[in-house]
Amino acid sequence: MAHAICSPSSSERWFKCAASALLNYHAEYTVGLPAATGTLIHSITEMHLKDRINNMSLEEYWLGRTEHIEAFEIKVDQDMIDCAKIYVDYINKRKEELDATLLIEEKFTIDEISDKCHGTADAVLIGKDRIQVVDLKTGTWPVDPTRNKQLMIYGLGVLTKYGDENTIMELSICQPRVSKRTPVKTFEITAPNLVSWGFNDLKPAIEACFEENPQYVYGDHCRFCSAKADCETYNKRHKE
């Protein structure tokens, strides 16, 4: 599945600055060390959840290994393993509590709303009357799941494939490096309310990205924009 023009992970930005969607899609993106480390931690959790390490512990298999991620050589340390273990333990716990089917790295689309937005959810737990989507964040900047646009897009895609109008959606952020004691925060929403947001808020926001003259809007969302060096609006406002 090709990278989406309206990527769920950057939705907080293109909701505010419609022009940024196409600008970033065509911009050269350089992966930094924190993002590369996050990719490696995701790989650690995926292998463990899919039982691909022959019943070995995470430490036995991963500790001290050096992996090549993008332009970096990253040595797996205990902090990375601890981060992965908290996430894996939580997923396994919720799978048992919900008596759920677990899907890892589940790809989804939201074609009824737009074919320009799709992605991959870290973990999906499909229970009898509820579905939980869990997104692993490996950074130290706290992320709130409440009406979080990235999570709600994930939820819509998963709901379309596996749910119905009676499904309760649990949209969760797991951030072990923010808090080991309470690493998971969850926002709950009904299927009708999530679908309503999809058509009333998400759909117009995506359509705005493809207008003939999309809006350029300066703000805090510019921080992670890959195209800001070539953006006239950013360069003008940033110097003020």
| Residue 51 resides in a domain | yes
Measured in degrees and rounded to the nearest 5, phi and psi for residue 125 equal -115, 115
Return the percentage of the chain with pLDDT > 70, whole number.
Answer: 99
Mean pLDDT is lowest, of 155-159, 174-178, 210-214, 233-237, for 233-237
- CATH number assigned to the domain comprising residue 79: 3.90.320
| Residue 67 resides in a domain | yes
| Residue 3 resides in a domain | no
| Residue 45 resides in a domain | yes
| Residue 2 resides in a domain | no
Residue 7 confidence (pLDDT): 95
Confidence of residue 240 (pLDDT cuts 50, 70, 90): low
Residue 180 confidence (pLDDT): 84
Mean pLDDT is lowest, of 2-11, 46-55, 175-184, for 46-55
- Give the full edge-to-edge strand order of the sheet including 130-136: 101-110, 114-126, 130-136, 168-174, 184-190
* Mean pLDDT calculated for residue range 205-229: 92
Q: Would you tell me how many other CB atoms lie within 10 Å of the CB of residue 31?
A: 13
| Residue 104 resides in a domain | yes
Range of the domain at 98: 8-238
| Residue 143 resides in a domain | yes
| Residue 79 resides in a domain | yes
CA–CA dist 235, 197 (Å, integer): 33
pLDDT tens digit string along 52-65? 887 788 999 999 99
Q: What is the 3-state secondary structure (H, E, C) of the chain?
A: CCCCCCCHHHHHHHHHCCCHHHHHHHCCCCCCHHHHHHHHHHHHHHHHHCCCCCCCCHHHHHCCCEEEECCEEEECCHHHHHHHHHHHHHHHHHHHHHCCEEEEEEEEEECCCEEEEEEEEEEEEECCCEEEEEEECCCCCCCCCCCCHHHHHHHHHHHHHHCCCCCEEEEEEECCCCCCCCCEEEEEEEHHHHHHHHHHHHHHHHHHCCCCCCCCCCCHHHHHCCCHHHCHHHHHHHCC
- Give the torsion sign (CA, 171, 177, 179, 183): positive
pLDDT tens digit string along 108-120? 999 999 999 999 9
Domain count, the chain: 1
Residue 231 confidence (pLDDT): 87
* Mean pLDDT calculated for residue range 147-152: 98
Residue 1 confidence (pLDDT): 59
**Closest of 9, 24, 13, 21 to residue 207, by C-alpha:** 21
Confidence of residue 213 (pLDDT cuts 50, 70, 90): very high
Write down the pTM of the prediction: 0.94
